[in-house]
Amino acid sequence: MRRENCADLARQTVLASLVYLAIDARDRLSAVRAIWANNAVASARGNRLVLRVEGQGRWVIRQTLIAIINMLGACGMPRVWQS
């Protein structure tokens, strides 16, 4: 993630965050890092995994989050993403 673009709304950068709270959060960090392209950062501490994804469009963000949410074993995608 390029730091100079983190809050650069003039270039229409999209930013999404995901928080995973579970006993195995720290163990999942390396698997999460293996999924994303070059548009995310993640950290884990205790039972909390925090992921931030940045991109120039919502499609890239969505695809990255879908892959990570599926890997984490969530109950499914948010309803608005199911179309």
pLDDT score recorded for residue 48: 95
CATH number of this structure's domain 3-74: 3.30.310
1-5, 23-27, 45-49: segment of lowest average pLDDT? 1-5
What residues does each domain of the chain span? Answer: 3-74
Quote the tokens at residue 76.
């499914």
Burial (CB count <10 Å: 0-12, 13-18, 19+), residue 27: exposed
Q: Specify the range with the lowest mean pLDDT, choosing from 22-26, 34-38, 69-73.
A: 34-38
DSSP per-residue codes, 23-42: TTHHHHHHHHHHH--SSEEE
Q: Please report which residue ranges of 1-83 form alpha helices under DSSP H.
A: 25-35, 58-72
69 neighbors 31 (Cβ within 8 angstroms): no
Whole-model pTM: value is 0.72
Over residues 45-70, the mean pLDDT reads 86
